[in-house]
Structure formats: structure tokens, C-alpha cells
Amino acid sequence: MNESATLALVAIANKARPMRKLLLIVGFLALALGLLWIGQGTGTIAWPQSSFMINEIQWAGYGAALAALGLILIWQGNR
């Protein structure tokens, strides 16, 4: 591989770093929020006490989907 091709690859890798960080941050936030929704939907987490999501099983489903999306984003950020 010649020097200009190596420099081009390094430039592409440096541009990808912010996207990787963004994917990881959004992924971890989605995972945490999804786990919270699962806990609230199943009644395991009763916080805040006035939440309309407590013991509403549909929110556990939404949380599972969001947590799965978060895991996919984390996986993509680590590739």
C-alpha cells in the first residue's frame, strides 16, 4: 500500500470516531431507558410513584424494543 492510500485510510478512520462515540452514547442511553421501562412496566421499579407506566405491561414491551435498539447501536459503535 502506498503512502497516499495509507493517509486516506487514516483520514477516514478519524472522521468515523465522532460517529462511533455518538452511537455508543445514544446506545447506552437507549439501553438504560429501555431497562427502566421494562422495570416500570413489570412493576419491579415503582419510581416515580406517580408514573402512569407502573404495572402496565405494554411499557415492558416498549422497553424491550428500546433496549434491543440500544444494544444494536452499541454493537455498531464497537465495530
Burial of 6 (0-12, 13-18, 19+ CB in 10 A): exposed
Question: Over the stretch 6-34, which tens digit does the pLDDT of each residue have?
Answer: 766 666 666 668 899 999 999 999 999 99
Q: Give residue 3's pLDDT band: very low, low, confident or very high (50, 70, 90).
A: confident
**Cell numbers linked to 46:** 415503582
Q: Output the CA torsion sign for 2, 4, 5, 10.
A: positive
Domains of the chain by residue range: 17-77
- Helix-then-strand count for the chain, H and E: 2, 0
pTM confidence score: 0.80
User: What's the confidence (pLDDT) of residue 4?
Assistant: 73
User: What's the confidence (pLDDT) of residue 59?
Assistant: 98
